[in-house]
Amino acid sequence: MPVISTLLLVLLAPPASAGTGTQQCAAGHVRLTFDDGPHPTATPDILDTLADRGAKATFFVTGEMTAARPDIVRRASEEGHRIGNHSWNHPELTTLDRAQVRSQLQRTNEVIERATGDTPGEWRPPYGATNDLVAGAAGDVGLDSMLLWTVDPRDWADPPATTTRDRVLQGVRPGSIVLLHDSTGRNTPAALPMILDGLASRGYCTQ
């Protein structure tokens, strides 16, 4: 082949990475979500892993924990992760009256905004417990997007990291929302690299 033709082929060929994104996400997207933080050591470890892998997640933080460690929430936001409202101190909101629910959520909105500069757009009720009163109180403070989950590996009960990995990978489907914990799941930081490897090998991307 003439040299000029060879050069043209090289110049006109798509970059080596052009098809990589499509190939990596061939199976679709999975949302990784972490509840109950930020934790002083587990959350930074999780953020390090996500940064190393170029993965994204959503952190549903409590106001109480955010007020104690705003720098960690700020870091998560600055690194491109979503920050959601998970109440002030994790009560079962269905046991409260409307004013109490509003207070739980509004106070948390305020500390998240102080930490990140943004008001959260999503929220998750502790234990997934909600009703019309709770949803109405959330709407009162601008929280209209409630995100629950479809895959629960019960990492809060501290199973071995490999068990958490297996439960996640067995449960995921395109569009799955995975519930994990960065405050109460002691083995979750160790499980995360294995989860990300397994998702990637199956053609999933995280968001």
Active site residues: 35, 181
- For 25, which DSSP code? T
User: What are the distances in angstroms from CA 90 to CA 60, 108, 139, 196?
Assistant: 11, 11, 18, 28
- For 15, which DSSP code? P
What sign does the dihedral 135-141-147-148 (CA atoms) show? negative
Classify strands 145-146 and 122-123 as parallel, antiparallel or unpaired: parallel
Cα 26 from chain centroid (whole Å): 21
Q: List all residues 6 or more positions away from 61 whose beta carbon is below 8 Å from its beta carbon.
A: 36, 37, 38, 73, 83, 84, 85, 86, 108, 112
Which residue(s) pair with 32 in the sheet?
Answer: 178
